[in-house]
Structure 1
């Protein structure tokens, strides 16, 4: 490998060119389309969850079938992101996104003709494919629109804010719609969102230049292995919660996921044209960003799961009051976007990434140690985790893309989303397993005994501390990697680990 090639790989994408927008206003058409893409992902499950009881009654769906109405989307989405990211980097990011948006519109229209739960699950799986083709590309294309990191952060903040607004208003909007319209309308709303996204991407984003595409053949074996591994990793948490830690099924799924991960690494080390060159992941900016995203995903999912159970089952709050109890997190996630840019400008990208990840861990620790002493501590924990997540969700992703070459940006965005998906599932699995091991009886029954209440509170404390330790270890490792990048040692690392031909 020549020194010139090495520099291109280590430094990542250079300036986008003299025609790059000099402000967000100049790129408003593209940003509107890319924001619509992210809105679909965040709005989709949140708006549908409120309709599950109605769907169950009208389609005569079992509890398991209802679970897969949302689960099919999440598993297909998380499992196929890496594969579609690799395809997009080879055949055109805008092209794959537009195909995915058309699929989203068609699948959403198909909702109007659904008659059974199985048909709805198939539609949801198709939407998961569409999300995998579009969501990572939204951040990758936003990154490539600009040549200044400040504008990249502001664009990513804008896109994520639009998505978080959708996440926040989804349940309320869904409830209002159900009062006057059939549940199918909740998925048909994706059609105008897809149309808006198609217009914005088609007319606001330039087609990929051939020189910016990755020309190596697709690593089919690597893609299949990666997809199977991620699917197993996403299914395992659900099996732990449903089957319990005493069943062999979730442990078998977990073991299969571990074996799959090992096989994937071996495949990528030996492949002439790997799906994901391990040397790229080893780049300090990339590995630190992934570590911070993983820590945040683990903490956020685990905390949300524990707080939901605590408010409703331990403290006996009705669902409406429990939803209000989660408002501090929602408010910070939505309103916090205004503070991301100023904070990043003051702290710098690298420092902002590890500081925000550390705040997420601090919030989880507050909950684990003090959450049982009253709601005020729960609210503080929610605010801290949301504030840290609001920053790290943008900055860590931008850092990952900064550390990648220009023709790997989409798979890099897919990698960050996959890290969040998998660790979010792991956070729920760890919590559910500890609860299953320590809590006697059916946790969903009302009227707990004093012993069961004590078991639940001990389980939550232990689960919170376990997640805190794991998340803190990820953040510590990420800090060490980011300091290595700051010290200018990335070039050696990249050369040592990079296979020829990457």
Structure 2
């Protein structure tokens, strides 16, 4: 069961102060990109009052950022490997800053939707580049483990911090302030990035302060084996096909999550089918071109493909159940949105404590066992939440939530590190993008699957005499007669318990996959 810590590979120098400072600079844009997924939750009422968007426009204001981000991750990851990660990172930071200004100053719903789409493009440039830079900056396995832990914790924490930051800003400023807060971090990245980040396509060895702007080692632009391997014509057809595959699937799955599996979701089903067909064409093309955008051989490597699958399932449980937690705090317990957002931050304490502990434990114990333990911890905490009723105290719900968050994010951290270590340095951008695309898809699937399960239980638990709107959603019962609202709150608590049970089953499957596919796999390209 135990694994001895492998000796440091020759040519893998330790990172110094410059590299750790660079990591801190990279965390700022990552935090803001992940926060922008949820930062509009509180701002939408103020936006609606000023811009007067219709119901469809409101949905696009919320969703277009995530759609564009998910659709472009694979393309931008491959582009980072071609033109250089630092170049794409800095370009993405400039675009993200300009789009933030455009969003803050938008005077129409269409203008805000367009600005949010540009933010998605900028975010797609930033996210895979930041994770690929971790692979570039930290060649030592133990140091890379710590860096990936920080990356995963910041990414997971950003989504939780978004509503809190939004609520705090809206207490004092107008709604555009939720976008302008991005500017200082992007400006800092543009100033410090050229000084601290390596310029290489393939990401040459850094360490010992060798990653400065003028470094011309193995990773410098156009030089060294990595740079030569990464060079080549960018395949525009693969980029279009990846977009055509991911966007319709994410859109269709989110529509299923929003409306349930009803007869009116035919367009969503067609979108998913079209995306799957485009995905099949995309994969076929990857087998026929000399320089594929996605390395299918890498996906078949258990250390990488298994990690992608496990992380997808973990994200499905986290995102899919978060919707229920938010509604439970506000609509069942009667908390204000800002108060609910503050309470929902408490589970992140579990992440802060568990993720570093799991990383340290994985130095001496097979990481598959640590990941399996984290996923089983998540399954157990979801099982406790499956017993939630109207009499369950808030502290019990929050404690179980902290437990599953800590367990699942710990497993995802180790999965990210194992997958990055299995990828060649020159393909780190593409490898990071596929990891993140899987997590985006997992979140959408979790919302659809757990949302459909919870919705069915809610409808079945509501009395037939209740108004139609109240039988469909808890929101439809708010403001209604007292008995109807009480019945709706009880029914929603049952639906939350059912969703927790579904999440527990997902985590049992993920634990089995982690144990079966990742056992004995070591960090490093040879270990896959």
What is the TM-score of this pair, normalised by structure 1? 0.86
1:45 counterpart SS class: coil
Structure 1 residue 266: deviation in Å?
Answer: 2.9
Q: Which residue of 1 aligns with 2:404?
A: 385
Q: State the partner residue of 1:480.
A: 516
Question: Once structures 1 and 2 are overlaid, which stretch shifts more, 434-443 or 303-312?
Answer: 434-443
User: Which residue of structure 1 lines up, in the alignment, with residue 437 of structure 2?
Assistant: 418
Q: Distance in 2 between matches of 1:489 and 1:143?
A: 12
Structure 1 residues 265 and 159: alpha-carbon distance in aligned structure 2, compared to 1, 3 A threshold:
closer
User: What are the ranges of 5 or more consecutive residues in structure 2 without an aligned counterpart?
Assistant: 1-7, 201-218, 460-470
**RCO higher in 1 or 2 (8 Å CA, sep ≥ 6)?**
1
Kindly state the Cα deviation for residue 250 of structure 1 after the two structures are TM-superposed. Answer: 2.4
SS of alignment partner, residue 107 of structure 2: coil
> 2: distance between equivalents of 1:321 and 1:112?
25
Structure 1 equivalent of residue 252 of structure 2: 236
1:157 to 132, 142, 149: 149
Aligned to 1:114: 106
Q: 1:129 to 1:181 in 2, by over 3 A?
A: same
Is the 1:81–1:132 contact (alpha carbons within 8 Å) kept by the matching residues of 2? yes
Aligned to 1:11: none
Whether the 8 Å CA contact 1:301–1:428 is kept in 2: the answer is: yes
**C-alpha separation in 2, matches of 1:78 and 1:307:** 24
SS of the aligned residue for 2:53 comes to: coil
Structure 1 residue aligned with 2:205? none
Deviation at 1:455, TM superposition (A): 5.0
Structure 2 equivalent of residue 206 of structure 1: 198
In the alignment, the residues of structure 2 paired with residue 69 and residue 126 of structure 1 have an alpha-carbon distance, to the nearest angstrom, of: 12
Structure 2 CA distance for partners of 1:205 and 1:490, relative to 1, 3 Å: closer
Q: Is it true that 1:226 corresponds to 2:218 in the alignment? A: no
Root-mean-square deviation (Å): 3.0
Task: Point out the more displaced range, 114-123 or 392-401.
Answer: 392-401
Give per-residue Cα distances to partners, 1:405-444, cap 9 Å, x unaligned.
Answer: 1211111111111111111111111122234444442311
Tell me how far apart the structure 2 counterparts of residues 336 and 355 of structure 1 sit (CA, whole Å): 11
Paired residues of 2:164 and 2:338 also in contact (CA < 8 A): no
Task: Measure the CA separation in 2 of the matches of 1:283 and 1:377.
Answer: 40
- Give how far 1:89 is off: 1.0
Task: Structure 1: give runs of 5+ residues left out of the alignment.
Answer: 1-13, 495-502
SS of equivalent residue, structure 1 residue 69: helix
Q: Which residue number in structure 1 is paired with residue 3 of structure 2?
A: none
Which one of the candidate residues 120, 123, 126 is aligned to 2:118?
126
Distance 2:62 2:356 in 1: 31
Q: 1:108 to 1:378 in 2, by over 3 A?
A: same
- Of 161-170 and 419-428, more deviation after overlay is shown by 161-170
Partner of 1:5: none
Structure 1 residues 456 and 177: CA distance shift in structure 2, 3 A: closer
Bigger helix share? 1
Q: Does 1:308 align with 2:326?
A: yes
| Residues 451, 264 of structure 1: alpha-carbon distance in 2 compared, 3 angstrom cutoff | farther
What is the rounded CA distance, in whole Å, between the counterparts of 2:349 and 2:414 in structure 1? Answer: 20
Aligned: 1:259 with 2:273: no
C-alpha distance in 2 between matches for 1:144 and 1:245? 44
* TM-score scaled by length of structure 2: 0.82
1:249 is matched with which residue: 264, 267, 274? 267
Contact 2:77 2:129 (C-alpha < 8 Å) held by counterparts: yes
Q: Among residues 143, 149, 152, which one is paired with 2:135 in the alignment?
A: 143
The residue number in structure 1 matching 2:310 is 292
Match of 1:190 among 182, 189, 206: 182
Point out the more displaced range, 469-478 or 193-202: 469-478
Alignment partners' CA distance in 2, 1:170 and 1:488: 35
Aligned to 1:470: 506
Aligned-partner SS, 1:328: coil
Whether contact under 8 Å (2:321, 2:499) holds in the other structure is no
Count of matched residue pairs: 477
The alignment status of 1:356 with 2:348, answered yes or no, reads no
Structure 1 residues 137 and 362: CA distance shift in structure 2, 3 A: farther
Whether contact under 8 Å (2:93, 2:189) holds in the other structure is yes
Q: Distance in 2 between matches of 1:196 and 1:458?
A: 47
